């Protein structure tokens, strides 16, 4: 019996195994700077940086970090939206021998202090508008140096002159930081530092490049230890899967935040390794994204379902030419079939669902982009050099084809472990397999399907109910823009099924109509008992809907109601 049936589904253009150049990640920026010296590496709000300029800037940052005391293995937090400074900071840190700690700019002081203390970061690169937040918690952390930049530093004229007024109006503050002591201005570093080539020895297999913090949806966030090898392996896998990518020619739209490893690998690292142009956007705004695609003509567009949904539901989408888009891999959440079909119809490009997690750098599976069969509702096939299995929750042994168990992974992109958490690391691995926490099954051809998160399964009246199945059905309803299904407390059934729904603009629908629609396609016990229409749903920065936040909200209401009755 073939225990890797997916390999038989690979087209001849995709190898089942790859060779990896055992060089540190930052060496690929140097290679692209030599090969594509005067080509655009980054396009940001109309400002362009060539590969030569990007490399020299990263080298200056690395030189400066070493001059102010960074030693190999020191952690450098980067708390920025997508911008040239993130790329400069990331590669500069690696050149200096540091480890990057990607930090969400939306973090509160409490969340930021936790991450800095947990990682032991001693340096941080951040925005001027975030400086008050960082400096207020700095005394409670190990931070020794704060490097500050501003968006206007990398804006073209006249945007760079106008931006401070926009910033003052938008955020109500103007921050001035002096370049002295342990406060440093990136602009001054770029002006005054004489770059010196790095001489830091990097162990490709074992040295960390990144501490990627998990979302913390099941407890406190954990630092995922990703080595140079982990990240390069996943980038090479991505390159092999997107085999039509023309070296030095593609343009990649960078909307997915780089503080999420999905954006980091599929946009930043893939672009640098391949000499592609990155078109960076600091946040997602549907209209601005449509204008950017129309004007800048990206060919590759990694995204998340909420991003594609946001674009498709924009009333003016017909005014823009989106035909430059050739390939999109959707991650972070299940891709509704209706959204895939609609997006492909409008762009003429290919949109496929992929799968991964922070612990796997992140991608492990995807559907074939240009080849058949592409299987709707499936996360696709394991990537080259990636082994996957469905393990029994009871015995830990592989289950027969078609049976549900826990999706488990082996491969060169799998993390070294959790930072300073040996017990949790041990609990996440079983016989060499990384346990993903996702339930799913594999069909006879080797295509994998996610049924749901182990922790999201709804147990109602003794039945196991998988939210994703219900979501797929409800997404077919013409009035629904986005939704999430969750199990909420129920005194009789233990849990009951609730659907939280955002309607399309101008749409209106009753609970009865939704119920009637759902009953056409779902067994009675799976049909939502409660529908709640909302203006928006809580999401992570990468666009994943926070189902757990809604469940906690329900539990709190339930507890308060019980307390009142008592």
Give, in degrees to the nearest 5, the angle at Cα 356 between 353 and 360.
150
Which residues are bridge partners to 408 per DSSP? 389, 435
Q: What is the pLDDT of residue 524?
A: 84
Q: What is the pLDDT of residue 218?
A: 46
Cα(83)–Cα(279) distance, integer angstroms = 9
Q: 457-565 sits in which CATH class?
A: alpha beta
Cα(441)–Cα(389) distance, integer angstroms = 9
Residue 261 contacts residue 362 (beta carbons within 8 Å): yes
String of DSSP letters for 17-58: S-----S-THHHHHHHHHHSTTSEEEEETTEEEEHHHHHHHH
Q: What is the pLDDT of residue 169?
A: 74
Q: Which two structure tokens, joined as six digits, stand for 479?
A: 């009035």
Q: With a cut of 70, list the residues of the chain below it in pLDDT.
A: 1, 215-219, 461-462, 492, 561-566
Q: Which two structure tokens, joined as six digits, stand for 64?
A: 């400066």
Residue 103 contacts residue 77 (beta carbons within 8 Å): yes
Cα(348)–Cα(76) distance, integer angstroms = 41
Cα(425)–Cα(416) distance, integer angstroms = 9
Task: Based on DSSP, count helices (H) and strands (E) in the chain, helices before strands.
Answer: 17, 26
- Tell how strand 448-453 and strand 433-442 pair up: antiparallel
> Which contacts (CB < 8 Å, 24+ apart) does range 344-353 have?
346/312, 346/317, 346/322, 347/322, 347/323, 348/323, 349/301, 349/323, 349/325, 350/326, 351/308, 352/328, 352/380, 353/329, 353/378, 353/379, 353/380
| pLDDT, tens only, 25-61 | 999 999 999 999 999 999 999 999 999 999 999 999 9
Helix (H) or strand (E) holding 161: helix 159-171
Q: What is the pLDDT of residue 3?
A: 84
Residue 267 contacts residue 294 (beta carbons within 8 Å): no
3-state secondary structure 310-368: HHHCCCCHHHCCCCCCCEEEECCCCCCHHHHHHHHHHHCCEEEEEEECHHHCCEEEECC
Report pTM.
0.86
Q: What is the pLDDT of residue 543?
A: 80
Q: What is the pLDDT of residue 174?
A: 74
* CATH code of domain 24-435: 3.40.50.12780
Q: What is the pLDDT of residue 563?
A: 55
| pLDDT, tens only, 63-122 | 999 999 999 999 999 999 999 999 999 999 999 999 999 998 988 888 899 999 999 999
Structural domain boundaries in the chain: 24-435, 457-565
| pLDDT, tens only, 536-549 | 999 887 788 888 88
Q: Show the beta-strand stretches assigned E in 368-511.
A: 381-382, 387-391, 405-410, 417-418, 429-430, 433-442, 448-453, 458-460, 463-465, 480-490, 494-503
Cα(105)–Cα(130) distance, integer angstroms = 8
Helix (H) or strand (E) holding 100: strand 99-102
Cα(386)–Cα(230) distance, integer angstroms = 12
Which residues are bridge partners to 450 per DSSP? 440
Cα(435)–Cα(145) distance, integer angstroms = 37
Q: What is the pLDDT of residue 317?
A: 96
Total length of the chain: 566
State the number of CA atoms in the 13 A half-sphere of 542 facing the CB. Answer: 23
What is the share, in percent, of the chain residues with pLDDT greater than 90? 76
Burial class (CB in 10 A: 0-12, 13-18, 19+), 229: buried
Rounding to the nearest 10 degrees, give the CA dihedral for residues 158, 159, 165, 169. Answer: 150
Q: What is the pLDDT of residue 501?
A: 97
């Amino acid at each position: 019996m073939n225990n890797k049936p997916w390999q038989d589904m690979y087209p001849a253009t995709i190898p089942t195994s790859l060779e990896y150049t055992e060089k540190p990640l930052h060496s690929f920026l140097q290679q692209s700077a030599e090969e594509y010296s005067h080509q655009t590496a980054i396009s940001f709000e109309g400002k362009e940086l060539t590969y030569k300029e990007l490399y020299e800037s990263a080298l200056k940052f690395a030189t400066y970090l070493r001059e102010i005391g960074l030693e190999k293995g020191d952690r450098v937090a980067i708390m920025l939206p997508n911008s040239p400074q993130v790329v400069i900071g990331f590669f500069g840190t690696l050149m200096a021998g540091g480890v990057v700690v990607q930090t969400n700019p939306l973090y509160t002081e409490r969340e930021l202090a936790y991450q800095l203390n947990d990682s032991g970061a001693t340096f941080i690169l951040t925005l001027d508008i975030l400086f008050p937040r960082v400096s207020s918690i700095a005394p409670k952390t190990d931070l020794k140096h704060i490097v500050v930049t501003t968006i206007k530093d990398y804006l073209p004229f006249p945007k760079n002159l106008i931006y401070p007024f926009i910033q003052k109006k938008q955020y109500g503050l103007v921050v001035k930081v002096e370049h002295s002591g342990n406060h440093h201005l990136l602009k001054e570093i770029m002006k005054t530092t004489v770059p010196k080539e790095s001489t830091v020895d990097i162990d490709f297999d074992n040295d960390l490049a990144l501490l990627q913090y998990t979302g913390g949806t099941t407890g406190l966030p954990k630092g995922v230890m990703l080595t140079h090898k982990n990240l390069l392996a996943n980038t090479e896998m991505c390159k092999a899967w997107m085999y039509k990518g023309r070296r030095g020619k593609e343009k990649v739209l960078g909307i997915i935040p780089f503080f999420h490893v999905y954006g980091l690998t599929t946009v930043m690292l893939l672009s640098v390794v391949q000499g592609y142009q990155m078109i960076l956007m600091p946040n997602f705004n549907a209209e601005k994204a449509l204008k950017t695609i129309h004007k800048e003509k990206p060919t590759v567009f990694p995204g998340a379902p909420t991003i594609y949904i946001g674009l498709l539901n924009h009333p003016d989408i017909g005014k823009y030419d989106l035909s430059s888009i050739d390939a999109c891999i959707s991650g972070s959440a299940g891709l509704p079939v209706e959204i895939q079909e609609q997006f492909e119809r409008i762009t003429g490009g290919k949109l496929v669902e992929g799968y991964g997690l922070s612990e796997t750098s992140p991608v492990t599976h995807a559907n074939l982009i240009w080849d058949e069969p592409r299987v709707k509702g499936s996360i696709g096939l394991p990537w080259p050099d990636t082994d996957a299995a469905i393990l029994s929750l009871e015995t830990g042994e592989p289950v027969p084809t078609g049976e549900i168990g826990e999706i488990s992974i082996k491969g060169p992109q799998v993390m070294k472990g959790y930072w300073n958490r040996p017990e949790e690391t041990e609990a996440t691995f079983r016989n060499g397999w990384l346990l993903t926490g996702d339930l799913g099954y594999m069909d006879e051809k080797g295509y994998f399907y996610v049924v749901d998160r182990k922790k999201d399964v709804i147990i109602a009246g003794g039945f196991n109910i998988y939210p994703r199945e219900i979501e797929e059905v409800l997404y077919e309803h013409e009035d629904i823009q986005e939704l999430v299904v969750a199990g909420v407390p129920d005194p009789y059934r233990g849990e009951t099924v609730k659907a939280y729904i955002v309607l399309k603009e101008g749409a209106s629908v009753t609970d009865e109509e939704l119920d009637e629609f759902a009953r056409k396609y779902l067994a009675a016990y799976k049909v939502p008992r409660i529908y709640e229409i909302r203006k928006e749903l809580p999401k992570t920065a990468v666009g994943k809907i926070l189902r757990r936040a809604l469940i906690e909200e329900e539990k709190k209401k339930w507890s308060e109601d019980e307390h009142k009755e008592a």
